[in-house]
Amino acid sequence: MSTDSKENVRATVQFAGDACIDPSFRGCCFYESDSTQAAVLLRQDGDIVLSEKNGTPLWLRRKQGSSVLDLVAVRPKPLATNEILREHFSTHSFSHLLPLLHFMREVAGQPETPAVPRQACIVIDDPSLYFTSYGFINFKKLAEHAKQHGYHVAIATIAIDAWKINSRVAAIFNDYPDNLSLIIHGNNHLWQELSADRSVSWLRAILAQALQRFKGCRLQNYAPILEAPYGTFVAEATEQISQLGYAAALCTPSQFIGLNRQSAFPAAFGSGSTDVFPDGLCTIPRLVMSEDWRLEIAIAAFLRQPIVLACHHQDFFEGMGLLAEFTAAINRLGPIHWCSLREIAKANYSLRKENTTLYITLGSRNVECRLPPDVNAVVIERPWVKQQERLILMDESGTNATIDILSGVATEPLTWKHKERSVLRIESPVLAAVHPDTVEPPARRLWPVVRKVLQEARDRLYPLLPVTLISYLQNRKTQRYESTAQSSRIAKGSYARP
């Protein structure tokens, strides 16, 4: 059998409803295309079958006196050079690694439910705000539907479209701040705009121009958060993104590593609940709409990551029902806080407590942390810091800098008096900040304008097409995405930029 045909074989993985399984997978049935040969597990009386693959036991739990023994039919694969763990814990292959991660979490004593509710947001790529609708999306109906079902949508608008925002659209955004927000979806949305080999000056010019184009935006829930065109960017861009003042960048870890394998990111990149780029840039893991979106959500929830699902207007050609389906699937995972990406970025930190000292590890340069009542001191940890950098701690009002110091990776314990359940605001300014207005824009070109006009016409004509044709085009899009993802996996260490 050829490699291609093996890749296309999809096995059924069924999880038991036992309480010992993480709620993200408990009682669920998913598909995976990994064709690794599994050993035969011999069941004994009293064994609990935690998962099966095509009806064959894959993961057993056995009690031995006061101890518990987990038996797994497939061993985890070793990581190749410059590979990350997340590439082996994906919709392609997850069942062989999940038991080990599950075991490590149990040994570490991590709680089943995080202390802070999981955060979630749906991102719709590409819409311009010239009119009250875009393709299959009507902004007023979208806002009302989001309010009714309790979810939040971030509209990712291309910067070239930011020159004009319809006043009625602006009013809708401002009337529904809990349900609608706006972020930046690249500058011109050209192929390889941020993902090809470019000079630092080119990257800085493109990224600065995107911010300049949004300069006049008066929407109260607009945030300078970047979602790069086609979902990824070169590692060299992270420093420019941070220095120019972007609050965060959306990133699909496997795609990012596939493009930047030579950069040797840590093996755990994309697998933690708090990831940050080496320059202190907050990274928000991004899930891509595909036929396996339910599994994508389960994996993100298991990793205690925010659930951010990116899609397009044509995904809703049959109506808003899919958005309600997204919401219900995410809400079943436990306490969920639907919010903007700005709020997700501000909550990108992890906590650990020792006696009355709270250790706060930052995954963003600006965070807001609600302090437990029995904390008397805090230690701020910034993994990206290579030399002493400024650190500001503010009271809940954010008006007074109570502590303003220089610090390395971790501070000494800082005494902090606070009211019960008060919010600590932490800022870590960029060392070499660059104002976008000081950067010379790239040379003017006709193609970005022509391409945008064509894209706009295509998307606005989409609703006029027969439903059968739209369905066909959507299936083709899903196949292209799966093919791209598979190519990234196959490339491994020999990946070369296109």
Residues 419 and 362 in one domain: yes
Residues 282 and 166 in one domain: yes
Beta strand spans in 145-286 (E): 153-157, 180-184, 222-226, 248-251, 283-285
Q: Please say whether the beta carbons of 242 and 280 come within 8 A.
A: yes
Question: Which strand (E) or helix (H) includes residue 377?
Answer: strand 377-381
Q: Please say whether the beta carbons of 249 and 228 come within 8 A.
A: yes
Residue 46 has pLDDT above 70, yes or no: yes
Question: What residues are paired with 389 via a beta bridge?
Answer: 407
Residue 161 within a domain: yes
Residues 322 and 416 in one domain: no
- Distance of alpha carbon 277 from alpha carbon 235, whole angstroms: 9
Domain with 100, as residue range(s), is 3-108
Mean pLDDT (whole number) for 439-452: 94
- Distance of alpha carbon 298 from alpha carbon 28, whole angstroms: 9
pLDDT of residue 195: 87
Mean pLDDT (whole number) for 351-370: 92
Residue 441 within a domain: no
pLDDT of residue 7: 46
β-strand 336-338 against 133-134: which pairing, if any? Answer: unpaired
What token pair was written down for 245?
A: 């003042």
Tell me which of 83, 108, 133 is where a domain ends.
108
User: Which residue type sits at 7?
Assistant: E
Of 428 and 395, which is predicted with more confidence? 428
Q: Please say whether the beta carbons of 129 and 158 come within 8 A.
A: no
Tell me which of 108, 128, 145 is where a domain ends.
108
- Distance of alpha carbon 362 from alpha carbon 286, whole angstroms: 19
Q: Please say whether the beta carbons of 306 and 208 come within 8 A.
A: no
The total number of residues shown for the chain amounts to 498
- Distance of alpha carbon 196 from alpha carbon 43, whole angstroms: 52
Phi, then psi, of 285 in degrees rounded to 5: -60, 135
Residue 438 within a domain: no
Average pLDDT, the chain: 87
Residue 485 has pLDDT above 70, yes or no: no
Q: Please say whether the beta carbons of 19 and 48 come within 8 A.
A: no
pLDDT of residue 192: 87
Residue 487 has pLDDT above 90, yes or no: no
Q: Please say whether the beta carbons of 31 and 11 come within 8 A.
A: yes
Taking CA 12 as the corner, what is the angle to CA 8 and CA 13, rounded to the nearest 5 degrees?
125
Mean pLDDT (whole number) for 35-47: 87
- The pLDDT-based confidence of 419 (bands split at 50, 70, 90) is low
Ranked by mean pLDDT, the top range of 78-87, 250-259, 332-341, 474-483 is 332-341
- The pLDDT-based confidence of 345 (bands split at 50, 70, 90) is very high
Question: Which strand (E) or helix (H) includes residue 202?
Answer: helix 200-213
Of 432 and 492, which is predicted with more confidence? 432
- The pLDDT-based confidence of 35 (bands split at 50, 70, 90) is confident
Residues 240 and 317 in one domain: yes
List Cα–Cα distances, 168 to 176, 259, 460, 495, in angstroms.
Answer: 13, 40, 18, 47
Q: Which residues contact 184 (CB under 8 A, 6 or more apart)?
A: 156, 157, 159, 210, 211, 214, 224, 225, 226, 227, 246
Mean pLDDT (whole number) for 404-426: 86
Residue 444 within a domain: no
Residue 440 within a domain: no
The CATH number covering residue 288 comes to: 3.20.20.370
Q: What DSSP assignment string belongs to 392-403?
A: EEE-TTSSSEEE
Total structural domains within the chain: 3
Residue pLDDT, tens place only, 93-134: 899 899 999 998 888 876 554 556 889 999 999 999 999 999
Residues 246 and 161 in one domain: yes
Residue pLDDT, tens place only, 60-101: 999 988 889 999 999 888 888 888 888 889 888 899 899 999
Residue pLDDT, tens place only, 169-178: 999 999 999 9
Mean pLDDT (whole number) for 202-207: 96
Nearest to 181 by CA among 119, 122, 132: 122
Residue 99 within a domain: yes
Residue 367 within a domain: yes
**% the chain with pLDDT above 90:** 59
Instruction: State whether the Cα torsion 193-196-202-205 is positive or negative.
Output: positive
Residue 152 has pLDDT above 60, yes or no: yes
β-strand 349-354 against 336-338: which pairing, if any? Answer: unpaired
List Cα–Cα distances, 330 to 218, 301, 421, in angstroms.
Answer: 31, 9, 27
pLDDT of residue 494: 31
Residues 61 and 149 in one domain: no
Residues 323 and 205 in one domain: yes
Residues 272 and 403 in one domain: no
Mean pLDDT (whole number) for 188-206: 91
β-strand 29-32 against 48-53: which pairing, if any? Answer: unpaired
Pick the range with the lowest mean pLDDT from 11-15, 74-78, 226-230, 242-246: 74-78
Q: DSSP state, 410?
A: B
Residues 204 and 287 in one domain: yes
Residues 382 and 326 in one domain: no
Largest CA distance in the chain: 74
pLDDT of residue 421: 63
Angle between helices 139-149 and 167-175 (to 10 degrees): 10
Residue 70 within a domain: yes
Mean pLDDT (whole number) for 279-291: 91
Q: Is 38 helix (H, G, I), strand (E, B) or coil?
A: coil
Residues 471 and 362 in one domain: no
Residues 161 and 297 in one domain: yes
pLDDT of residue 397: 62
- Distance of alpha carbon 77 from alpha carbon 36, whole angstroms: 10
Taking CA 350 as the corner, what is the angle to CA 349 and CA 354, rounded to the nearest 5 degrees?
135
